[in-house]
């Protein structure tokens, strides 16, 4: 009997070791650890004043761009202990230069740590509201600001909720309502890593309004960037670890219905949508392993992917920019506007490129 128990225990241990080894190989594949992309340059220059990343960028139809900078995110390198900042940039200016936004109100700016951003324009009076994911002391909350002058944000409200436990990005659909992605299945890092190790797609997207908060979509390995179509009919979500963009249709009562997934072959972070064409632009990480094990001698690269005709039977996925990290490290967002492209990063610089 004792010998049989030893055999059973040995078999269980061997099976567990084999499973864990297999999963770690799958995790390396998920992180695209062996991927190298050839450099594909554009005519670009660095944006002034952006030294510690521009994790997210959003551009209004009139060419006004908002940038979140200085993100300090767990597991990612950080080269500044200063609080994060918000910038604004006028792309219609002959020499567009980011200007720091002055923030007024009761928000604690000493721990401001901005992540994903979104803008909502109230059609009743054209008021501009800026929504910012904020991680003070690595918490998860959403700040709502009113953009009132050329360089001023007035803080209106901080939103927290148990469902908004690991917010990465946000898309505003009302003055106080939005969809938000959770990039962790649990706020606890160990529990989240366990779900990734086991391959459990337990991350979700939350719909929030003053009247309700609920899970609107789930089944993501890690829900990351989110945005909306120009006609407000569709929601696009990046499942970064699944290397795909998921397309949902908005139905009455802010219900989301999944339509399709589009493979992109990279770890795509934030999503921006061309106001004019509806094309999807993605800031991506070509090799996630280089990002998580940062080595300044072999830095993580950058990649920009565009999806044309995403609602057709055959969307066209193309690489528009690629770098090995010697010009731009760890791209997160690519925002187009009238022949120009702004590319932001987690912790590095930001580029303004010509597409024409």
Phi-psi region of 289 (alpha: psi -120 to 50; beta: other; left: phi over 0): alpha
Q: Which pLDDT score, from 0 to 100, does residue 312 have?
A: 97
DSSP string, 140-168: -EEEEEEEEETTEEEEEEEE--TT-SSEE
Q: Which pLDDT score, from 0 to 100, does residue 17 have?
A: 57
Q: Is residue 270 part of a domain?
A: yes
Cα 66 to Cα 149: distance, rounded to the nearest angstrom: 13
Q: How far apart are the first and last CA of the chain?
A: 77
Token look-up 């789930």 returns 218
Decide if 308 contacts 301 (C-beta within 8 A).
no
Residue 168 annotated as binding?
Answer: yes
Residue 169 annotated as binding?
Answer: yes
Q: Which pLDDT score, from 0 to 100, does residue 166 have?
A: 97
pLDDT digits (tens, 9 = 90+) for 138-190: 999 999 999 998 799 999 999 999 999 999 999 999 999 999 999 999 999 89
The segments of the chain whose pLDDT lies below 50 read none
Q: Which pLDDT score, from 0 to 100, does residue 193 have?
A: 87
Residue 56 annotated as binding?
Answer: yes
Q: Is residue 211 part of a domain?
A: yes
Cα 280 to Cα 33: distance, rounded to the nearest angstrom: 25
Considering the candidates 45, 115, 243, 251, report the single residue annotated as catalytic.
115
Radius of gyration of the chain (CA): 21
Q: Is residue 27 part of a domain?
A: no
Q: Which pLDDT score, from 0 to 100, does residue 34 have?
A: 84
Q: What is the CATH number for 310? A: 2.120.10.30
Q: Is 111 helix (H, G, I), strand (E, B) or coil?
A: helix
Best CA proximity match to 247, nearest among 205, 215, 275 = 205
Residue 49 annotated as binding?
Answer: no
Best CA proximity match to 233, nearest among 259, 208, 194 = 259
DSSP string, 206-237: EEE-SS-EEEEEEEESSEEEEEE-TTS-EEEE
Q: Is residue 16 part of a domain?
A: no
Token code pair at residue 321: 């920019």
Q: Which pLDDT score, from 0 to 100, does residue 77 have?
A: 84
- What is the domain extent for residue 346? 32-354
Alpha helices in the chain (DSSP H): 2-30, 189-197, 288-292
Q: Is residue 17 part of a domain?
A: no
Q: Which pLDDT score, from 0 to 100, does residue 28 have?
A: 75
Cα 299 to Cα 328: distance, rounded to the nearest angstrom: 9
Q: Is residue 47 part of a domain?
A: yes
Please confirm, yes or no, whether 192 is among the known catalytic residues: no
Residue 269 annotated as binding?
Answer: yes
Residue 313 annotated as binding?
Answer: no
Q: Is residue 253 part of a domain?
A: yes
How many independent structural domains does the chain possess? Answer: 1
Residue 151 annotated as binding?
Answer: no
Query: pTM, whole model, 2 decimals?
Result: 0.93
Q: Is residue 72 part of a domain?
A: yes
Cα 145 to Cα 128: distance, rounded to the nearest angstrom: 8
> Strand order of the sheet with strand 203-208?
167-172, 178-182, 203-208, 213-220
């Amino acid at each position: 009997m004792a010998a049989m128990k030893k055999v059973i225990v040995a078999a269980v241990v061997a099976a567990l070791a084999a499973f864990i080894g297999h999963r770690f190989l799958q995790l390396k594949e998920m992180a695209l650890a062996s991927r190298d992309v050839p450099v594909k340059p554009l005519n670009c220059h660095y944006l002034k004043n952006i030294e510690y990343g521009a994790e997210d960028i959003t551009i209004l139809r009139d060419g006004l761009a908002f940038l979140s900078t200085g993100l300090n995110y767990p597991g990612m390198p950080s080269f500044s202990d200063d609080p994060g900042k918000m910038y604004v940039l006028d792309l219609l200016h002959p020499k567009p230069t980011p200007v720091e936004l002055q923030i007024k109100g009761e928000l604690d700016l000493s721990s401001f740590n901005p992540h994903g951003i979104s803008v909502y324009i109230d059609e009743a009076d054209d008021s501009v509201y800026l929504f910012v994911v904020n991680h003070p002391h690595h918490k998860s909350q959403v700040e709502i600001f009113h953009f009132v002058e050329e360089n001023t944000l007035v803080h209106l409200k901080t939103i927290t909720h148990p469902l908004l436990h690991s917010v990465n990005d946000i898309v505003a659909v009302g003055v106080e309502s939005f969809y938000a992605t959770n990039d962790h299945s649990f706020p606890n890092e160990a529990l989240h890593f366990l779900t990734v190790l086991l391959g459990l797609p337990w991350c979700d997207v939350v719909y929030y309004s003053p009247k309700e908060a609920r899970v609107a979509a789930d089944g993501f390995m890690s829900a990351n960037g989110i945005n909306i179509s120009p006609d407000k009919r569709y929601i696009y979500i990046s499942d970064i670890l699944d290397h795909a963009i998921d397309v949902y249709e908005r139905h009455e009562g802010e219900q989301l219905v999944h339509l399709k997934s589009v493979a992109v072959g990279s770890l795509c972070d934030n999503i921006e949508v061309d106001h004019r064409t509806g094309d999807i632009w993605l800031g991506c990480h070509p090799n996630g392993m280089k990002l998580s094990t940062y080595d300044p001698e072999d830095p993580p690269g950058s990649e920009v992917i565009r999806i044309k005709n995403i609602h057709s039977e055959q969307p066209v996925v193309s690489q528009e920019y690629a770098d090995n990290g010697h010009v731009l490290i760890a791209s997160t967002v690519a925002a187009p506007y009238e022949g120009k492209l702004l590319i932001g990063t987690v912790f590095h610089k930001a580029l303004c490129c010509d597409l024409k």
